[in-house]
Amino acid sequence: MEGASSLRALLCMLVCVVTLSVVYGNLEGDVLYSLKMALSDPNNMLRSWDPTLVSPCTWYHVTCNQDDRVTRLDLGNANLSGHLVPELGKLERLQYLELYKNNIQGVIPPELGNLTNLISLGLYNNNISGNIPPSLGNLKSLVFLRLNNNHLTGPIPVELFNLPNLKVLDVSNNGLCGTFPSSGPFEHIPWDNFKNNPRLEGPELLGLVPYDTNCS
Ligand SMILES: *[C@@H]1O[C@H](CO)[C@@H](O)[C@H](O)[C@H]1NC(C)=O
Ligand SMILES: *[C@@H]1O[C@H](CO)[C@@H](O)[C@H](O)[C@H]1NC(C)=O
Ligand SMILES: *[C@@H]1O[C@H](CO)[C@@H](O)[C@H](O)[C@H]1NC(C)=O
Protein backbone atom coordinates (compact mmCIF):
# COMPACT_ATOMS: atom_id res chain seq x y z
CA MET A 1 0.00 0.00 0.00
CA GLU A 2 2.68 2.40 1.10
CA GLY A 3 4.67 1.60 -2.03
CA ALA A 4 1.70 2.37 -4.25
CA SER A 5 0.98 5.70 -2.59
CA SER A 6 4.57 6.86 -2.73
CA LEU A 7 4.66 5.83 -6.40
CA ARG A 8 1.52 7.92 -6.89
CA ALA A 9 3.20 10.85 -5.13
CA LEU A 10 6.29 10.45 -7.30
CA LEU A 11 4.21 10.36 -10.48
CA CYS A 12 2.28 13.41 -9.38
CA MET A 13 5.52 15.29 -8.71
CA LEU A 14 6.87 14.28 -12.10
CA VAL A 15 3.72 15.55 -13.82
CA CYS A 16 4.01 18.83 -11.92
CA VAL A 17 7.64 19.34 -12.90
CA VAL A 18 6.98 18.50 -16.55
CA THR A 19 3.92 20.76 -16.64
CA LEU A 20 5.82 23.64 -15.06
CA SER A 21 8.75 23.36 -17.45
CA VAL A 22 6.40 23.18 -20.45
CA VAL A 23 4.56 26.31 -19.26
CA TYR A 24 7.79 28.28 -18.64
CA GLY A 25 9.34 26.83 -21.78
CA ASN A 26 6.49 28.18 -23.87
CA LEU A 27 6.51 31.57 -22.16
CA GLU A 28 10.26 32.00 -22.54
CA GLY A 29 10.19 30.58 -26.08
CA ASP A 30 7.53 33.16 -26.96
CA VAL A 31 9.70 35.92 -25.52
CA LEU A 32 12.72 34.85 -27.56
CA TYR A 33 10.60 34.38 -30.66
CA SER A 34 9.34 37.95 -30.32
CA LEU A 35 12.99 39.04 -30.26
CA LYS A 36 13.68 37.01 -33.39
CA MET A 37 10.74 38.70 -35.12
CA ALA A 38 12.14 42.14 -34.22
CA LEU A 39 15.60 41.36 -35.61
CA SER A 40 16.98 41.07 -39.08
CA ASP A 41 19.29 38.05 -39.28
CA PRO A 42 21.09 37.86 -42.65
CA ASN A 43 23.53 35.17 -41.41
CA ASN A 44 20.70 32.88 -40.22
CA MET A 45 22.03 32.72 -36.65
CA LEU A 46 18.48 32.17 -35.34
CA ARG A 47 17.61 29.38 -37.78
CA SER A 48 17.14 26.85 -34.94
CA TRP A 49 14.67 29.10 -33.07
CA ASP A 50 11.55 27.07 -33.80
CA PRO A 51 8.59 28.30 -31.71
CA THR A 52 6.73 24.97 -32.08
CA LEU A 53 9.24 23.19 -29.82
CA VAL A 54 8.13 22.80 -26.17
CA SER A 55 11.00 24.88 -24.88
CA PRO A 56 13.75 27.11 -26.29
CA CYS A 57 16.42 25.12 -24.44
CA THR A 58 17.57 23.26 -27.56
CA TRP A 59 17.89 26.46 -29.61
CA TYR A 60 21.40 27.59 -30.55
CA HIS A 61 22.80 30.56 -28.58
CA VAL A 62 20.32 29.91 -25.73
CA THR A 63 21.37 28.27 -22.44
CA CYS A 64 18.96 26.94 -19.79
CA ASN A 65 19.36 25.72 -16.21
CA GLN A 66 18.22 22.25 -15.07
CA ASP A 67 14.65 23.59 -14.65
CA ASP A 68 14.57 24.55 -18.35
CA ARG A 69 14.63 28.27 -17.60
CA VAL A 70 16.70 30.49 -19.87
CA THR A 71 19.90 31.74 -18.21
CA ARG A 72 22.01 32.93 -21.14
CA LEU A 73 21.52 34.52 -24.50
CA ASP A 74 24.79 34.64 -26.47
CA LEU A 75 24.43 36.53 -29.72
CA GLY A 76 27.50 38.73 -29.83
CA ASN A 77 29.06 39.37 -33.23
CA ALA A 78 26.10 37.85 -35.06
CA ASN A 79 25.48 40.53 -37.72
CA LEU A 80 22.00 41.23 -36.31
CA SER A 81 20.08 44.44 -36.86
CA GLY A 82 16.61 45.53 -35.79
CA HIS A 83 15.68 46.34 -32.20
CA LEU A 84 15.29 44.90 -28.72
CA VAL A 85 11.84 43.98 -27.36
CA PRO A 86 10.33 44.82 -23.93
CA GLU A 87 9.32 41.14 -23.54
CA LEU A 88 12.97 40.33 -22.72
CA GLY A 89 12.17 41.59 -19.21
CA LYS A 90 10.15 38.39 -18.68
CA LEU A 91 13.18 36.08 -18.77
CA GLU A 92 13.23 35.94 -14.97
CA ARG A 93 16.28 33.67 -14.64
CA LEU A 94 18.42 35.36 -17.29
CA GLN A 95 22.02 35.96 -16.14
CA TYR A 96 23.82 36.85 -19.37
CA LEU A 97 22.34 38.99 -22.13
CA GLU A 98 25.10 39.27 -24.74
CA LEU A 99 24.19 41.11 -27.93
CA TYR A 100 27.41 43.07 -28.45
CA LYS A 101 28.98 43.84 -31.86
CA ASN A 102 25.82 43.85 -33.92
CA ASN A 103 23.94 46.69 -35.55
CA ILE A 104 20.95 46.82 -33.20
CA GLN A 105 19.05 50.12 -33.20
CA GLY A 106 16.34 51.66 -31.07
CA VAL A 107 16.33 52.01 -27.29
CA ILE A 108 17.20 49.88 -24.26
CA PRO A 109 13.74 48.71 -23.05
CA PRO A 110 13.18 49.87 -19.43
CA GLU A 111 11.72 46.39 -18.83
CA LEU A 112 15.28 45.01 -18.75
CA GLY A 113 15.27 46.40 -15.20
CA ASN A 114 13.05 43.42 -14.28
CA LEU A 115 15.89 40.96 -14.94
CA THR A 116 16.92 40.79 -11.29
CA ASN A 117 19.24 37.78 -11.82
CA LEU A 118 21.21 39.47 -14.58
CA ILE A 119 25.00 39.32 -14.13
CA SER A 120 26.06 40.76 -17.48
CA LEU A 121 24.42 43.14 -19.92
CA GLY A 122 26.60 43.33 -23.04
CA LEU A 123 25.19 45.75 -25.61
CA TYR A 124 28.43 47.43 -26.71
CA ASN A 125 29.20 48.20 -30.36
CA ASN A 126 25.68 48.57 -31.66
CA ASN A 127 23.62 51.55 -32.81
CA ILE A 128 21.45 51.94 -29.71
CA SER A 129 20.03 55.39 -28.94
CA GLY A 130 17.88 57.02 -26.25
CA ASN A 131 18.60 57.21 -22.52
CA ILE A 132 20.03 54.60 -20.15
CA PRO A 133 16.86 53.49 -18.29
CA PRO A 134 16.96 54.31 -14.55
CA SER A 135 15.27 50.91 -14.01
CA LEU A 136 18.68 49.27 -14.61
CA GLY A 137 19.36 50.36 -11.03
CA ASN A 138 17.16 47.40 -9.98
CA LEU A 139 19.72 44.92 -11.31
CA LYS A 140 21.29 44.12 -7.95
CA SER A 141 23.18 41.07 -9.32
CA LEU A 142 24.77 43.00 -12.18
CA VAL A 143 28.57 42.71 -12.39
CA PHE A 144 29.23 43.71 -16.04
CA LEU A 145 27.44 46.61 -17.73
CA ARG A 146 28.92 47.36 -21.14
CA LEU A 147 27.07 49.94 -23.23
CA ASN A 148 30.04 51.54 -24.98
CA ASN A 149 30.10 52.45 -28.68
CA ASN A 150 26.47 53.29 -29.19
CA HIS A 151 24.50 56.53 -29.53
CA LEU A 152 23.12 56.79 -25.99
CA THR A 153 22.20 60.25 -24.74
CA GLY A 154 21.17 61.84 -21.43
CA PRO A 155 22.76 61.33 -18.01
CA ILE A 156 24.09 58.20 -16.35
CA PRO A 157 21.08 57.58 -14.06
CA VAL A 158 21.87 58.12 -10.37
CA GLU A 159 20.13 54.77 -9.76
CA LEU A 160 23.22 53.04 -11.21
CA PHE A 161 25.52 54.62 -8.61
CA ASN A 162 24.34 52.12 -5.99
CA LEU A 163 24.59 48.82 -7.84
CA PRO A 164 26.18 46.68 -5.12
CA ASN A 165 28.01 44.14 -7.34
CA LEU A 166 29.02 46.24 -10.34
CA LYS A 167 32.67 45.62 -11.24
CA VAL A 168 32.88 46.57 -14.91
CA LEU A 169 31.09 49.54 -16.42
CA ASP A 170 31.88 50.93 -19.86
CA VAL A 171 29.83 53.74 -21.36
CA SER A 172 32.58 55.25 -23.54
CA ASN A 173 31.84 56.49 -27.08
CA ASN A 174 28.27 57.63 -26.65
CA GLY A 175 26.56 61.01 -26.36
CA LEU A 176 26.04 61.02 -22.58
CA CYS A 177 25.98 64.20 -20.51
CA GLY A 178 25.94 65.27 -16.86
CA THR A 179 28.40 64.07 -14.25
CA PHE A 180 29.40 60.79 -12.64
CA PRO A 181 30.61 60.21 -9.08
CA SER A 182 34.11 59.06 -8.14
CA SER A 183 32.92 57.05 -5.13
CA GLY A 184 30.74 53.98 -4.61
CA PRO A 185 30.89 51.22 -7.21
CA PHE A 186 32.33 53.69 -9.76
CA GLU A 187 35.46 54.20 -7.62
CA HIS A 188 37.55 51.56 -9.40
CA ILE A 189 36.26 52.12 -12.91
CA PRO A 190 38.92 53.58 -15.19
CA TRP A 191 38.17 57.01 -16.59
CA ASP A 192 38.72 55.62 -20.08
CA ASN A 193 35.41 53.78 -19.68
CA PHE A 194 33.65 57.17 -19.66
CA LYS A 195 35.65 58.80 -22.48
CA ASN A 196 34.32 60.19 -25.74
CA ASN A 197 31.08 61.47 -24.32
CA PRO A 198 31.62 65.13 -25.23
CA ARG A 199 29.14 66.47 -22.63
CA LEU A 200 29.92 64.12 -19.75
CA GLU A 201 31.94 65.68 -16.89
CA GLY A 202 33.35 63.98 -13.89
CA PRO A 203 34.03 63.01 -11.29
CA GLU A 204 31.61 64.91 -9.13
CA LEU A 205 33.75 66.81 -6.59
CA LEU A 206 31.34 67.30 -3.68
CA GLY A 207 29.11 69.42 -5.86
CA LEU A 208 31.95 71.72 -6.98
CA VAL A 209 31.37 70.79 -10.60
CA PRO A 210 28.13 72.42 -11.70
CA TYR A 211 25.58 69.88 -12.89
CA ASP A 212 24.78 70.25 -16.57
CA THR A 213 21.15 71.35 -16.34
CA ASN A 214 20.68 70.91 -20.07
CA CYS A 215 21.43 67.22 -19.79
CA SER A 216 18.38 65.10 -20.62
C1 LIG B 1 26.20 40.93 -42.57
O2 LIG B 1 24.99 41.04 -43.26
C3 LIG B 1 25.06 41.75 -44.48
C4 LIG B 1 23.65 41.83 -45.05
O5 LIG B 1 22.82 42.62 -44.23
C6 LIG B 1 26.01 41.09 -45.43
O7 LIG B 1 26.14 41.84 -46.62
C8 LIG B 1 27.38 40.94 -44.76
O9 LIG B 1 28.24 40.19 -45.59
C10 LIG B 1 27.27 40.24 -43.42
N11 LIG B 1 28.56 40.29 -42.73
C12 LIG B 1 29.13 39.21 -42.24
C13 LIG B 1 30.44 39.42 -41.55
O14 LIG B 1 28.64 38.11 -42.29
C1 LIG C 1 8.78 45.48 -15.83
O2 LIG C 1 9.35 46.78 -16.01
C3 LIG C 1 8.46 47.77 -16.43
C4 LIG C 1 9.25 49.06 -16.69
O5 LIG C 1 10.37 49.21 -15.86
C6 LIG C 1 7.33 47.92 -15.47
O7 LIG C 1 6.42 48.91 -15.90
C8 LIG C 1 6.62 46.58 -15.31
O9 LIG C 1 5.61 46.68 -14.36
C10 LIG C 1 7.59 45.47 -14.95
N11 LIG C 1 6.89 44.19 -15.01
C12 LIG C 1 7.01 43.25 -14.06
C13 LIG C 1 6.27 41.99 -14.29
O14 LIG C 1 7.69 43.41 -13.06
C1 LIG D 1 21.82 53.85 -36.76
O2 LIG D 1 20.49 54.13 -36.38
C3 LIG D 1 19.93 55.29 -36.98
C4 LIG D 1 18.53 55.45 -36.42
O5 LIG D 1 18.56 55.51 -35.03
C6 LIG D 1 19.93 55.13 -38.49
O7 LIG D 1 19.46 56.32 -39.08
C8 LIG D 1 21.33 54.82 -38.98
O9 LIG D 1 21.30 54.56 -40.37
C10 LIG D 1 21.91 53.63 -38.26
N11 LIG D 1 23.29 53.40 -38.63
C12 LIG D 1 23.70 52.27 -39.20
C13 LIG D 1 25.16 52.19 -39.48
O14 LIG D 1 22.95 51.35 -39.44
Question: For the chain, give me the number of helices (H) and strands (E)?
Answer: 1, 13
Ligand 2 mean position, distance from CA 43 (Å): 33
Confidence of residue 208 (pLDDT cuts 50, 70, 90): very low
List the strands of the sheet with 81-83, edge to edge.
39-40, 81-83, 103-105
The mean pLDDT of 180-206, rounded to a whole number, is 80
Q: Is the pLDDT of residue 20 over 90?
A: no
Among protein residues, the one whose CA lies closest to atom 11 of ligand 3? 127
Burial of residue 207 (CB within 10 Å: 0-12, 13-18, 19+) is: exposed
Check pocket membership of 127 for ligand 3, CB cut-off 6 A.
yes
Average pLDDT, the chain: 88
Ligand 1, atom nearest to 81 Cα? 5
Q: Is the pLDDT of residue 22 over 60?
A: no
Say what the pLDDT of residue 13 is: 60
* Sign of CA pseudo-dihedral 23, 25, 28, 30: negative
Say what the pLDDT of residue 26 is: 86
Which domains are present in the chain?
2-204 (3.80.10.10)
Q: Is the pLDDT of residue 214 over 60?
A: yes
Cα distance between residue 123 and residue 127, in whole Å: 9
51 versus 94: the higher-pLDDT residue is 94
* Helix (H/G/I), strand (E/B), else coil: 161: helix
Ligand 1, atom nearest to 43 Cα? 14
Q: Is the pLDDT of residue 211 over 80?
A: no
Ligand 1, atom nearest to 40 Cα? 5
Lowest mean pLDDT among 63-67, 101-105, 118-122, 189-193: 189-193
**pTM greater than the 0.85 cutoff:** yes
DSSP secondary structure letters along 70-107: EEEEE-TTS--EEE--GGGGG-TT--EEE--SSEEES-
